[in-house]
Structure 1
Amino acid sequence: MALNIDQTKFLEEAMRKVKEQAFYMKHAMDNEDLKGTLTHASDMLRELRTGLLTPKSYYELYMKVLDELRYVEDYFTGLQKQGKPVVELYEKVQSCGNVLPRLYLLITVAGVYIKSLEAPARDILKDLVEMSKGVQHPMRGLFLRNYLSQVSRDKLPDVGTPYEGEEGGSVQDAYEFILQNFSEANRLWCRMQQQPTNAHNKDKKRREKERQELRILVGTNLVRLSQLQGVEAATYKEHILPRLLEQVVQCKDTLAQSYLMECIVQVFGDEFHIATLDLFLAACTQLKEKVNVRAILEGVMDRLATFAEANPAAIPPHLRTFDMFNTCVSKLLEERPGYSVVEVLRLQASLLNYALHSFPGNLEYLNLALGNCATALADKRAAHQEQAVIVAPLPFALDSEGVEVVERLLTLPLACLALKVLELPHFASLLEFLPWASRRQVGVTLLQAVYNSRAKLSDLESVEKLLEMVVPVIKEEPSSVLGSEEGQALRRQQNGEGGVEDAEEEDEAGASRSRGGGSTGSTENGKARRLEEEQLLLGRLVHVMASPDTDMHFRFLTVARRHFSEAPKDRFQYTFPPLVLATLQLVQRVRRREVAAEGADGKQEGDTQGGRAASEGASEQAAAEDGNGVLGLKKRDVPGVQFGCRKLFQAVHEMLTSLAPHFANLALKLFLEAAQAADRCEADAFKLISYEFVTQAFLLYEDEVTDSKSQIRALTAMIGTLLQARHFDESDYDALSTKVTQYAAKLLKKPDQCRMVALASHLFFVGRADEPGHYHDPKRVIECLQRSVKTADMCMASSQHMHLFVEVLNHYLYFYECGCPTVTEKYLSALVAFINDKRNEAALVGGGPAEGSSRAAEIEAYYKNTLDYIRLKKTQTDNKELADRFSAIQV
């Protein structure tokens, strides 16, 4: 703290003296007193001779002095315009007694001298850079050379400037001047590390910090070089970069080498780097061991990768830049065996990223980088295993930093390659080094990349490989072969955690969270959401599999089913439905092949007309039991088809049987979907399959579905399935329809009974009389409708009873319009009159429970629209018969 106070006071005193001398200097300028001006300017600049300020404080003083030197420069410029020869000023300022003030004034005059064109810029610049060697104090010399760089930045004999010419100089003189100034500045900067004279510089870390603060004074010279318009790639390669690299390598300073190499990467253009890549990489291998060469290589690779991505033809193929980088990396690893495995992995990750962006289609480069990583990890594991017998009781495991790098290595190519990563042999082997959770994350990223690419899995080997890679997404981590204590220690090793004490603290924290409840609940919800997202993503994988050959496509689905079946049962709800639906979609393709094959052989099977009046003989043959599966169907081979529809339906049945005990509602719905798919096959041989699926759905309903809302949804799905079916035998259809109606009549709530029985009435009047597969039972229709009216009348205490009557009336109208003989105008007129009476009673009483509510208005509008529909039908002119029938209804 005392040091800071002294610094502040010293800086304030120096600032005061600068301000005081600047005031006298300006007064002398106003009086055109050149001698006084130079005297006071010299006294002002003398404050920069101090060695007691830190770089930060010295910089503040330096900037204040530079602000005042601008007035001096303007004064000299004015004298030059008045006709005073600048050479006299240039010689006069050299009479100043102290070196540092003299050089600052000399540089200031030199700027005016060069602009006046009274002398060649080349000679003046050469003179300045040589005389600046007179200041050898590292910090003072650095700031002086920075001032020289600032003054000369717009006065170099570059191409297109007024200072270029036979006498003024060329761009070569410009870069020679900058290179010499850079060389001297770098030498001074490196010398600061060996300056132990002042008390505040003795500490090594403090010196390094001070050098960090001053590094820009050296890097400014490289910026000036990069801004020269006359420097081309060839000049840079032959004359500039070799000298820069020579300075960097020979300085033998870790900080200087790191900073200057990064500067070279950042300030010069991409074309320059491409032209000189071999020189730059050769220098990288000569840097000190403590220099972070990986960061330097990452910088140049990232720049070239971005450049190559934007300009694909910019890098000539014959350069083989990837091979250059790979050779450099290999040499570094060979010469520096002390590199940690994480550093090795990071180097290869940079190499992989460069290959991805510069050579996106070259899988050889990508596999080479991944292979190098796998080899490094395998060597590390082998060394660990050799040592494990003696001192290391745990198996080899990466720490958290290593896991992060490997995970990045594996996810980098996914966005670009998607399914093509399956062609990288070392991808899977490198994946094995990750812990289970990280493998799961890579698997999720892989699945997302596959979907985003819209690629298709079209061969069995790729399906197997991909599913093996995403196994951690499919199932939980298998039980460790290690003991529980060893397993916990291994996990701590992977996570970079401590010993037993840390585990105990974690257990206590977990117990505390459990007692609190809120945090644990939130965590569990987050895990559940993440699991659901992952499993839905996994289920979509089924739809990525595609093959023109149905047999091969079924093999894909079989492999997926085998893997999905290894997951915990609670995940079946996400993965089995897409698998079932994909199989049912495949059934239609297989059926078309079967029909085509049967037609070609003259062996048409079943009733292709699809009517319900099917051949009894064919049905009995299809139903024969011969031990060929749960569905009880005799297998009949079709030429050219290895897996027929029966085989696919058998697979669907097995999957749904596995799903049903855990997710009954979902399995019920899928059983009905399968029944519809079997019915669409339009052959007698598939009647029993469809009947079996519907039967299984009914059994699930009876045994598992107990919630009222779930029952209504299930019954609605059952009714919809039976209404779409067209190929059941009449007796089977009658039995199924009756069963559904019974289910509807046994619902717990009366309003639900009313609605569902009315809906079930449609099962007994399906299709027109001239349509094949129609089914009409008018007697059952009127029974269902009358049952619904009675049930609605029992709901008087409910605000829904009026709405129920109107709903049933609409069902009556549907059947009446369809020509159902048992639904006559007598029933319609009576129901309309009944509803009107109920409305009048409600009005006399003062309204029901829903009087004045939005519900009452909704019911009234519903009823009014129904009556308007009847009146509209009475006036229909295009169907006189229907109009006459509706005219008999009294509304």
Structure 2
Amino acid sequence: MYKDTVLPRVLEQVVNCKDEIAQYYLMDCIIQVFPDEYHLQTLDVLLGAFPQLQPTVDIKTVLSRLMERLSNYAASSADVLPEFLQVEAFAKLNNAIGKVIEAQPDMPILGVIILYSSLLTFTLHVHPDRLDYADQVLGACVKKLSGKGKLEGNKTTKQIVALLSAPLDKYDIVTALKLSNYPRVLEYLDTETNKVMATVIIQSIMKNKTRISTADRVEALFELIKGLIKDLDGAVLDEVDEDDFKEEQNSVARLIQLLHNDDPEEMFKIICTVRKHILGGGPKRLPFTVPSLVFSSLKLVRQLQGQEENPFGEEESTTPKKIFQLLNQTVETLSNIPAPELALQLYLQCAEAANDCDLEPVAYEFFTQAYILYEEEISDSRAQVTAIHLIIGTLQRMHVFGVENRDTLTHKATGYSAKLLKKPDQCRAVYACSHLFWVDDQDNVKDGERVLLCLKRALRIANAAQQTSNAARGNTGSVTLFVEILNKYLYFFEKGNPHINVAAIQSLVELVTTEMHSETSALDPAANAFFASTLRYIEFQKQKGGAVGEKYEPIKA
């Protein structure tokens, strides 16, 4: 009765009344009042009336509401989906939208996008397995957008973002990348909205923990998010909010860490693809993205650890050496920006990885690059202190170097330490160098005499610092240096360094005690507590008894 009598008569009245307000209201009433299944079974008749309405009627809103109702109906139960297929709902709605847009040539582009956005939502609910339908909707959208240039206007761009976000809510990005028209719609977004959409895509990947595991997919993905990776249309970075920019670049860095393939060959291709995209990002972006790429590459190096070359002799195979070559060139881009401190840290990380792969020439090359940066680019005194301690710490962990290479690098590190601007910094760096001559797990690196030379040199620098502070009156840091050096003496004494004897420790204890009670030395509670704690440690070692107790017994604390 509804199909044959009620609906045709009501629609006849609506079309014939010729009043745009009445037509809009009555069509909305029909959609809202009658049941979903009625609409589904009478789609032909209902949709046939739309092009006959007045050109000024807001058809897009009414039609969108119809598709929204049908989408919700489809989502309510899987049992109703066969009905949608039976009546070919998608084809009818797609056809109707085409006719409505044709009948209203003055419809603004916003209206067109709203209609296709509603159709896409309907398609994703009713035909989630038909990617071709979703792509067809996006293709129709591209057709209408062609020749329009970059879209402007808040409402229009928001609607495009909603259109492009819909597939990401239903599928993961790997599936969405199969939609050939998806990137084509993105092309019409202005720079700012392009960045918003890129952020939405990355958030979708993070949320779903999507695994993107081929270089081709990475290429397609980075094309989609290029708004975050490089400047589009000559956009000026200076106008961007600093915090927003950092958050955007950090999200790109996190994304790089998610790209993975267990096959080394494919993973290397992924790394090369990422590198190609991010190296064009400009000096402000590289400090965020390059470290992430470097650590992703080092993960692959660890995976291949110990593999020098392919057993079958294929030149194209991925080896640690090949990755290190790429890493050297990649980190070099940071020193050109310049970001020398970050580049130095990454060179040292690469050196440590080369050490674990037993590649001495490669590790030496990375250290050389780090030293060049230190000498030529790092001039700030605080940055120099941080850098020299990183160099010493990394060099101490290296086991791959032969005597000659190790001596060269160690000699340079101790030289840098003694040339730091402030005496306390010099002292701490020089006594840290003592560890370069005595490494527990390397029997060939146990030179007790050079350890003692380092500690004596540190003591001389501490004395000079003490005299300076006495002259300045009130600078209390130098007594602390003596206590720190005493602790180093105790460390090597316990490790069995024959050149560190009881007499040396005893004289140092007495020196600190004298300095503590000196009239020229200002009261320093922290130094007092540190020294008291050191003396308690000596007493504790004595009470242990046995071989350790015997060693400590002669020391009078």
**Equivalent residue, structure 1, for 2:328:** 653
Cα 1:660–1:250 change in 2 (3 A) is same
Q: How many residues are paired up?
A: 545
- How does the TM-score come out when normalised to structure 2? 0.90
Cα 1:354–1:859 change in 2 (3 A) is farther
Q: Please say if 1:886 is aligned against 2:549.
A: no
Please tell me the residue identity of whatever aligns with 1:727.
Answer: V
SS in structure 2 of the partner of residue 425 of structure 1: coil
SS in structure 1 of the partner of residue 121 of structure 2: helix
**Equivalent residue, structure 1, for 2:368:** 695
CA distance in 1, matches of 2:512, 2:56: 94
Per-residue deviation, residues 237-256 of structure 1 (Å, max 9, x unmatched): 67765555454344332112
CA distance in 2, matches of 1:243, 1:555: 65
Q: Please say if 1:454 is aligned against 2:220.
A: no
**Equivalent residue, structure 1, for 2:397:** 724
Please tell me the residue identity of whatever aligns with 1:717.
Answer: L
> Deviation of residue 312 (structure 1)?
4.2
**Equivalent residue, structure 2, for 1:549:** 263
What runs of 5+ residues in structure 1 fail to find an aligned partner?
1-234, 382-395, 481-519, 602-637
Per-residue deviation, residues 696-752 of structure 1 (Å, max 9, x unmatched): 101111111111221111111111111111110012112211211111111111111
1:249–1:286 CA contact under 8 A, matched in 2: yes
CA distance in 1, matches of 2:308, 2:376: 37
**Equivalent residue, structure 1, for 2:198:** 443
> Deviation of residue 676 (structure 1)?
0.4
**Equivalent residue, structure 2, for 1:345:** 113
Please tell me the residue identity of whatever aligns with 1:815.
Answer: F
CA distance in 1, matches of 2:140, 2:388: 61
2:418–2:430 CA contact under 8 A, matched in 1: yes
Q: Please say if 1:786 is aligned against 2:456.
A: yes
Q: Counterparts of 1:60-79 in structure 2 under 5 Å?
A: none
**Equivalent residue, structure 1, for 2:535:** 867
**Equivalent residue, structure 2, for 1:167:** none
Which of 285, 289, 299 does residue 571 from structure 1 map onto?
Answer: 285
Say what the alpha-carbon RMSD is for the aligned residues: 2.8
CA distance in 1, matches of 2:192, 2:409: 49
CA distance in 2, matches of 1:440, 1:871: 64
**Equivalent residue, structure 1, for 2:352:** 676
Q: Please say if 1:532 is aligned against 2:208.
A: no
**Equivalent residue, structure 1, for 2:222:** 467
**Equivalent residue, structure 2, for 1:377:** 145
**Equivalent residue, structure 1, for 2:506:** 829
Which of 462, 465, 468 does residue 795 from structure 1 map onto?
Answer: 465
**Equivalent residue, structure 2, for 1:584:** 298
Per-residue deviation, residues 125-179 of structure 1 (Å, max 9, x unmatched): xxxxxxxxxxxxxxxxxxxxxxxxxxxxxxxxxxxxxxxxxxxxxxxxxxxxxxx
Q: Please say if 1:809 is aligned against 2:479.
A: no
Cα 1:839–1:236 change in 2 (3 A) is farther
Q: Please say if 1:292 is aligned against 2:58.
A: yes
CA distance in 2, matches of 1:241, 1:720: 83
1:594–1:641 CA contact under 8 A, matched in 2: no
CA distance in 2, matches of 1:525, 1:814: 54
SS in structure 2 of the partner of residue 862 of structure 1: helix
Cα 1:674–1:310 change in 2 (3 A) is farther
**Equivalent residue, structure 2, for 1:84:** none
**Equivalent residue, structure 1, for 2:182:** 427
> Deviation of residue 369 (structure 1)?
0.8
Cα 1:765–1:259 change in 2 (3 A) is same
CA distance in 1, matches of 2:37, 2:531: 81
More relative contact order in 1 or in 2 (CA 8 Å, sep 6+)?
A: 2
> Deviation of residue 271 (structure 1)?
5.1
Cα 1:341–1:781 change in 2 (3 A) is same
Cα 1:270–1:774 change in 2 (3 A) is farther
CA distance in 1, matches of 2:373, 2:264: 31
CA distance in 2, matches of 1:827, 1:810: 12
Structure whose alpha-carbon radius of gyration is higher: 1
Per-residue deviation, residues 337-392 of structure 1 (Å, max 9, x unmatched): 443444322211221122234444432221011000112223x56xxxxxxxxxxx
Cα 1:254–1:667 change in 2 (3 A) is same
2:41–2:87 CA contact under 8 A, matched in 1: no
CA distance in 2, matches of 1:268, 1:868: 89
SS in structure 1 of the partner of residue 177 of structure 2: helix
SS in structure 1 of the partner of residue 285 of structure 2: helix
**Equivalent residue, structure 2, for 1:754:** 427
Please tell me the residue identity of whatever aligns with 1:819.
Answer: G
SS in structure 1 of the partner of residue 332 of structure 2: helix
CA distance in 2, matches of 1:265, 1:293: 12
**Equivalent residue, structure 2, for 1:764:** 437
Q: Please say if 1:411 is aligned against 2:165.
A: yes
> Deviation of residue 805 (structure 1)?
1.7
1:593–1:641 CA contact under 8 A, matched in 2: no
**Equivalent residue, structure 2, for 1:302:** 68
> Deviation of residue 268 (structure 1)?
5.0
**Equivalent residue, structure 2, for 1:96:** none
**Equivalent residue, structure 1, for 2:409:** 736
SS in structure 2 of the partner of residue 356 of structure 1: helix
**Equivalent residue, structure 1, for 2:25:** 259
CA distance in 2, matches of 1:236, 1:640: 75
Please tell me the residue identity of whatever aligns with 2:462.
Answer: A
**Equivalent residue, structure 1, for 2:472:** none
> Deviation of residue 694 (structure 1)?
0.6
SS in structure 1 of the partner of residue 476 of structure 2: coil
Please tell me the residue identity of whatever aligns with 1:533.
Answer: E
Q: Counterparts of 1:180-199 in structure 2 under 5 Å?
A: none
CA distance in 2, matches of 1:335, 1:431: 27
> Deviation of residue 587 (structure 1)?
1.4
**Equivalent residue, structure 2, for 1:616:** none
> Deviation of residue 274 (structure 1)?
4.4
1:274–1:315 CA contact under 8 A, matched in 2: no
- How does the TM-score come out when normalised to structure 1? 0.57
Cα 1:307–1:710 change in 2 (3 A) is farther
